[in-house]
């Protein structure tokens, strides 16, 4: 056997060993994340919810605690998403839209889904980006709109996928969005990265509609 073949075989063995070691480290990190920070956040949220049941809290303090509880809930879900791979696979995409709406639905805020329940014919990375955008938009509507719910509508033509998130809340002036509005900035940046067309329509006292368009080949 030539020195070249022996060298190549040794390289393959070395790379295989490095890959196995990397996979082991990733698994260890996942376990530590799940058993450490995630569990502490869940425990903190349970303590917070217990505190919210304390008699005599002012309305302002209760609202602040509820906002913190919602933030912790979203954080827990985001960490779980990362532990599950960070992407929404095409195999369960049909259920993910339903689950996404269910995730943010509560007695005082309903999230409805209209149209196609699946986002087929979209690449995995774009699919993941769309779900992250939808999660941010629904969260913003629940937190800021003052509406009792929002709707997610999916429409498709041979050339375009259209998704709209709409509420009938207090609305805002689109030309006066604060520079520190992290949620909308994140949505727009992610849309640009993945070649998604996002438009925002909002009228004071009437509500907000955000449209996400993706050209299909």
Look up the pTM and report it. 0.58
Q: What's the domain range around 63?
A: 1-86
Q: Give the pLDDT score at 139.
A: 85
Q: Are residues 181 and 117 in the same domain?
A: yes
Supply the DSSP symbol for 168: -
Q: Are residues 67 and 94 in the same domain?
A: no
Q: Total domain count for the chain?
A: 2
Angstrom CA distances, 147 to 60, 92, 132, 212, stand at 19, 30, 21, 21
13 pLDDT band (50/70/90 cuts)?
low
Q: Are residues 23 and 97 in the same domain?
A: no
At which of 29, 55, 86 does a domain end? 86
pLDDT tens digits for 68-95? 877 777 777 777 666 655 444 444 444 4
Q: Give the pLDDT score at 6.
A: 63
Q: Are residues 215 and 113 in the same domain?
A: yes
CA dihedral sign, ordered 151, 98, 122, 77: positive
Q: Are residues 103 and 210 in the same domain?
A: yes
Q: Is residue 92 packed enough to be buried (19+ CB in 10 Å), middle (13-18) or exposed (0-12)? A: exposed
At which of 71, 86, 101 does a domain end? 86
pLDDT tens digits for 141-189? 888 888 999 999 999 888 889 999 999 998 888 777 655 566 677 788 8
Helix (H, G, I), strand (E, B) or coil at 159: coil
Exposure string of 197-212, with b = 16+ CB inside 10 Å and e = fewer, is ebebebeeeebbbbeb
């Amino acid at each position: 056997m030539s020195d070249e073949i022996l060298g190549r075989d040794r390289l393959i063995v070395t790379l295989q060993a490095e890959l196995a070691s990397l996979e082991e480290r990733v698994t260890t990190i996942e376990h530590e994340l799940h058993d450490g920070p995630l569990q502490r956040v869940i425990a903190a949220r349970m303590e917070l919810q217990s505190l919210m049941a304390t008699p005599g809290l002012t309305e302002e303090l209760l609202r602040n605690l509820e906002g913190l509880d919602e933030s912790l809930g979203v954080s827990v879900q985001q960490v779980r998403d990362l532990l599950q791979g960070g992407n929404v696979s095409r195999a369960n995409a049909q259920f993910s839209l339903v689950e996404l709406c269910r995730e943010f639905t509560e007695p005082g805020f309903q999230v409805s889904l209209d149209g196609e329940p699946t986002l087929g014919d979209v690449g995995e990375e774009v699919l993941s980006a769309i779900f992250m955008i939808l999660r941010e938009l629904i969260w913003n509507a629940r937190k800021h709109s003052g509406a009792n719910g929002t709707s997610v509508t999916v429409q498709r033509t041979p050339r375009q996928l259209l998704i709209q998130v709409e509420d009938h809340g207090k609305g805002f002036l689109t030309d006066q969005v604060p520079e520190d509005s992290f949620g909308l900035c994140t949505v727009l940046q992610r849309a640009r990265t993945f070649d998604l067309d996002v438009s925002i329509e909002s009228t004071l006292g009437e509500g907000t509609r955000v449209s996400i368009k993706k050209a299909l080949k």
